[in-house]
Chains A and B, each alone.
Chain A
Amino acid sequence: MASYYLEANWDDLVPIPQDDGPEPLTPISYDKECYSEAMSYFRAVALKDERSERALSLTEKIIKHNPAHYTIWHYRQQILFSLEKDLYNELDFITDQWIIKTYNLWDKELAFIDKLLDDDVRNNSAWNQRYFVIFFNPNEPTEELLAQEVQYGINKILLAPNNISPWNYVKGIIAKSKEQDISVLEGLCKELEKQNIISYHALGCLVDIYESRAKRGSIEDKNLGIKTCELLAEKRDNIRQKYWEYRKQVLT
């Protein structure tokens, strides 16, 4: 008789336990109470190709234990189709980029990423996902939203100035904005300098800023850029000496 865990009435079915052969090399110690029992009933259900409410709830139990079980997902889909279920309810089950795009869940996703980055500001995947939410959204981001995002990135940089992910992110956002003005980061770089925080990202960002002004003809910025490249090459980011020499050469 099925345990209370499975809820529905299963008395008409004989569970089929997993057959690992006589002496299994590496038997998996499943959670006997729940997963093994549910799977035993699943084998019996699948053998009959039963597409019922109780079979649906059984797939839910198994998926909660083992979301990577492809066979169960496939069977669940067949049941949903057969019972003509409202597929929108099924969405609570799943979340990924396809789901976000297809069902317009952009706002919820941004709140979720806020939480991920509050937990771990160095989560590069979350920073990438944030960019995806802003730009792969069918609603084109406003200049106001982009400015907010730059500020969001700046705040996160101040928490950990040597974390490259938000630096890449704010530069990516600025490149997509109307003005494309990297100088908006100058205050941040100067602030870090004032606090005696050594960050090659901040110095590198200053090189970008000086270079953008040098391109518009400022000799002063050209010289500042060259000096900063030299500081990076010789002291602050010696391991990338050749890269900074290249940047210096471009400036000259």
Chain B
Amino acid sequence: MTSIEKANNLLVDLHVKYIQSLDTKKDDLEYWFTEHLRLSGVYWGLTALDLLKNVNMLNREDVVKYVVSCGFGGHIGHDPHLTHTLYAVQILVIEDALDSVNTEKIIEYVKSRQDPQTGAFTGDEWEEIDTRFSYCAISCLSLLKRLDAIDVKKAIEFIMLCKNFDGGFGNTPGAESHAVFCCVGALAIVNSLHLVDADLLGWWLCERQLKNGGLNGRPEKLEDDPESGGIADRPGDMVDVFHTLFGIAGLSLLGYPDLKSVDPVYCLPKYVVQRIGLAERYHV
């Protein structure tokens, strides 16, 4: 295979092996330094494997057992957080194992994170506010089909306060556009995309693409793969499972052959979203 052929071919076997290897590195210091990312890593790895048509390469029983043992935290014994609550629900939806947890408790927790005055969501008991947590709450409750548990109207109002002059969305009102996926995704789930200034945001988004084809996350920054097609953040850098998922999800959205379709609103395989009966809210 020439180097150009290599560059144009997704080496599925190698990606699968890489993801499988992640949990076997318990002798590495790095493994323990990244403990807080363990549950997140399972979501990124499992979703990537599923899109690569290799979901069975992680043992389902082990995965479900681990997720249940994390409670609402990022790893066993960690404090609960809204972000990890979403990751746990996403993993369980992929594994079709929601019945292994008490979903009422999850719904109660997510509900408790909403500020009744502003509609904003706090990540955990330390009460940091961020629209990314709004997405976590809305996506999570939507997957559990219990959006009725929160004040959706207020949640939308808060997200709209974070809309900026460049058409993007920030983490809090007045903050730089850096939470576009989460705000637009949340609005999509609650059928409120009409509130987005599509032409202005469309320009902001396509302006993220650089001459080398890569996309950056904010104006005047370097390209990074969460938005484009590598498997590290950029050519020559170390690979990681986070960028592997978003690289593969990006390729899936672009219609790359031999990948399952990804749902861009939930960042889950499309068949999973269809299986639980959630309507498709976009057209590629």
Contacts and interface: CB of A to CB of B under 8 A. Distances in A.
Interface of A: 25-26, 97, 122-125, 128-129, 131-132, 136, 163-165, 168-169, 171-173, 175-176, 204, 239-240, 242-243
B255 interface: no
Interface stretch (B63-71, B131-139, B201-209, B245-253): B201-209
B60 interface: no
Contacts of A125: 176
The listed residue with most A CB atoms (<10 A of its CB), out of B164, B165, B177, B219, is B165
A173 B202 CA distance: 19
Contacts, number: 57
A142 B223 CA distance: 38
Interface in B56-104: none
Interface in B171-223: 172-177, 202-204, 206-207, 209-211, 213, 218-221
A172 B174 contact: no
A132 B202 contact: no
B279 interface: no
Q: Which 7 A-B pairs have the closest CB atoms?
A: A172-B165, A128-B176, A132-B174, A122-B220, A168-B166, A124-B219, A164-B219
22 contacts: A97-B172, A97-B174, A97-B175, A122-B220, A124-B176, A125-B176, A128-B164, A128-B170, A128-B177, A131-B174, A132-B175, A136-B174, A164-B220, A165-B219, A168-B165, A168-B204, A239-B211, A239-B213, A240-B206, A240-B207, A243-B202, A243-B206
A129 B177 CA distance: 11
Contacts of B206: 240, 242-243
B11 interface: no
B165 A175 contact: yes
Nearest to A246: B202
For chain B, the bracket of interface size reads 20 to 34
Given A125-B176, A128-B164, A168 B209 contact: no
B238 interface: no
Contacts of B203: 204, 243
A131 B163 CA distance: 13
B214 to A, nearest CB: 11
Nearest to A165: B219
Interface in B121-138: none
Contacts of B219: 124, 164-165, 168
B209 A239 contact: yes
Given A128-B164, A175-B165, A240-B206, A165 B220 contact: yes
B29 interface: yes
A155 to B, nearest CB: 18
A204 B213 CA distance: 20
Interface in B18-32: 29
A152 to B, nearest CB: 15
Contact of A124 (B202, B209, B210, B220): B220
B220 A128 contact: no
A60 to B, nearest CB: 24
A128 B175 contact: yes
A25 B202 CA distance: 49
A133 to B, nearest CB: 9
A244 B168 CA distance: 20
Contacts of A132: 174-175
